[in-house]
A and B are shown apart, each in its own frame.
Chain A
Amino acid sequence: MSKKIDQSWLNESATFTRPVIREIQRAASEGIYDIRGFGAKRSIPTFDDLLFLGASVSRYPLEGYREKCDTRVTLGTRFAKKPIEISTPITIAGMSFGALSAQAKEALGRGATEVGTSTTTGDGGMTPEERQHSKILVYQYLPSRYGMNPDDLRKADAIEVVVGQGAKPGGGGMLLGQKISERVAQMRDLPQGIDQRSACRHPDWTGPDDLEIKIQELREITDWQVPIYVKVGATRTFFDVQLAVKAGADVVVVDGMQGGTAATQEVFIEHVGIPTLPATRLAVEALKGIDMHRKVQLIVSGGIRTGADVAKALAMGADAVSIGTAALIAMGDNSPEFENEYNELGTSAGYYDDYQDGKDPSGISTQDPELGRRLDPELAGRRVANYLRCLTLETQTLARAAGKTDVHNLEPEDMVALTIEASAMAKVPLAGTDWIPGVTHKF
């Protein structure tokens, strides 16, 4: 029998919090870093730290349901003969078959197609299911080149050269052996059941001058038909964006440090890169600096959850956003309906992040055929579509309130910052002041 203790004596350290203590104990017992999925969990400045001003005497709003507020966007207008037209500025980010089940990939394709937007392959190649169910499919060109082949390249509606990812700029991928089913192994030309390391840099080019030649090769192979995106993790964003444009990108994708992943070292997820908020501003400044804003389109991602996030990203100058984690949640990831099974795995709905493990009870981040069958691609696709519609409506609501007939007419002047940090990062004034740290000085 343990003695009853007086709770008021328990004073938790702000340095050695309970999760920190738990992690030291885990490291001491296992001797290896923690690998997990999901994105950064620490608190960072986000779009939540910005507010819209809405209408006022000098700015009149549009009628909520009556007056038109356009959401369409065309991606890849610079060089491609066939740019991509999407009806909502929210796309589905690249998530690999391997990390996700075939059912989940199909569902993402169905959902995106239903609302007229694009979805993206991932590390591991293109599956026939996702091609079939995705009207607009972006094909990722990754360092591992797993499953890369010219036939699929020509089937793609756009090509995304992945230089990095927000969760791990400078890190390669890892698909642990337990997720390497026969089909995944075959697509990647590797034996079943072994850990698959994805390289952290491309095998046949290094640096911006090579990238330019590589992009030219991809265009030659695809006869200059489809747009070529370059995706970077948010780090030295200003320079990366300008270099990607110089290398010939039609579209630049910037993924903030809080962006999701299927399997990355915790230390990487939490400690490398810059948040989506400052990255968005830097990317727009970079494009404007070379007169390429709106000529090369900008997609930002990393922690996009609501229409408010979408509207704020657009107001800062992005052309579109991309979502990963939120789309998984929309399909059923972390749903309370699996609470008992989450408990079996030592976790709880709302906390599950072991996408690397392959035991996902929702059937999303798994290659176990039994678990995969639990996800009905039609139903999950419907949920993705509903969620995307909801985000679009929310974005329009905010844009109409600011009097915009197109969501892309939102601008930084429509916003203020709640914190000094966000004000400095987004370069919009602190609410109630005309002060932007580092830009204007009032004494």
Chain B
Amino acid sequence: MNTFDLANESVRQLNQTLHSNQCKDAEIAVINPGGKHSIAVGAMVNCQVNIDGHVGYYCAGMNQQADIVINGNAGPGLAENMMSGTVRVKGNASQYCAATAHGGLLVVEGDAAARCGISMKGIDIVVQGSIGHMSAFMAQTGRLVVFGDAGDALGDSIYEARIYLQGQPKSLGSDCIEKPMNDEHKQELGELLARANSTGVDISNFRRYGSARELYNFKVDNLSAY
């Protein structure tokens, strides 16, 4: 196993390694991350990265294929624009985690702050705590599962992404509505929970939210909603 001690080695050295084939199927340990930014960004091959401690901005940004675990809290923009692979944070995640992410799975074991899943484009997100305001803003596709509550304006201007929420939304954003939980959705949620290794929740407690599709084409009569 490769170990990067970020107290002595640079983030640059770590990322350069993650961009080469030499770490394919390898296990990489990162210690003393010290809240540094851009840790393990742009990973390109299948590997396991375990980060022991807190990370700063954009950890796991644009991840492809790698499985990254953060044994701590994550700063803003965790797993932004992720394409594939998995990212799991054992603590909390700051603002805009998984922003514009296209694929893969993000699991936040604690809470996620404001704008979780903003503009998401295909990623699946499972937050085992609560999420902040304006989450899933302009969310395009993908799924967002939340065990706790959501802040104000959940799913504002949402497109085709699906939100499964166990707790309460403080308010729903423009064009976001509650939708029926059919068998298809229960099955989908069950699969997501299994992929996230999340146990101890009852699927029947979740409600589904998505787009009313009223704002898809500009109509002047909807002006107050824009």
Interface residues of A, Cβ cutoff 8 Å to B: 30-32, 144-145, 148-150, 153, 176-177, 188-191, 193-195, 197, 199, 203-205, 210, 213-214, 216-217, 220-224
Contacts and interface: CB of A to CB of B under 8 A. Distances in A.
Interface stretch (B57-65, B124-132, B147-155, B178-186): B57-65
B74 to A, nearest CB: 13
A423 B207 CA distance: 64
Contacts of A216: 37-38
Interface in B83-128: 83, 95-96, 99-100, 102, 115, 118-119, 121-122
Contacts of B61: 217, 221
B37 to A, nearest CB: 5
Given A148-B81, A150-B44, A189-B140, A203 B217 contact: no
7 contacts: A150-B81, A195-B217, A203-B115, A203-B119, A214-B58, A222-B42, A223-B16
Nearest to B37: A213
Contacts of A193: 217
B122 A189 contact: yes
B194 interface: no
Contacts of B138: 197, 199
Given A150-B44, A190-B140, A216-B37, A204 B77 contact: yes
Contacts of A213: 37-38, 56-58
Contact of A149 (B19, B83, B137): B83
Contact of A217 (B41, B100, B102): B41
A61 B173 CA distance: 66
Interface of B: 11-12, 15-16, 19, 37-38, 41-42, 44, 56-58, 61-62, 64, 76-77, 80-81, 83, 95-96, 99-100, 102, 115, 118-119, 121-122, 137-138, 140-141, 157, 159-160, 216-218, 220, 223
Contacts of B102: 149, 189
A205 B119 contact: no
Contacts of A195: 216-218
Given A32-B218, A203-B80, 6 more contacts: A150-B62, A190-B159, A203-B96, A213-B58, A217-B41, A220-B41
Contacts of A214: 57-58
Contacts of A197: 138, 157
Contact of A221 (B62, B122, B159): B62
A117 B216 CA distance: 39
A162 B38 CA distance: 20
B44 to A, nearest CB: 7
Contacts of A199: 119, 138
A220 B41 CA distance: 7
Chain A to chain B: the 9 pairs with minimum beta-carbon distance, closest first: A221-B42, A145-B100, A194-B216, A204-B77, A204-B99, A189-B121, A150-B62, A31-B220, A203-B99
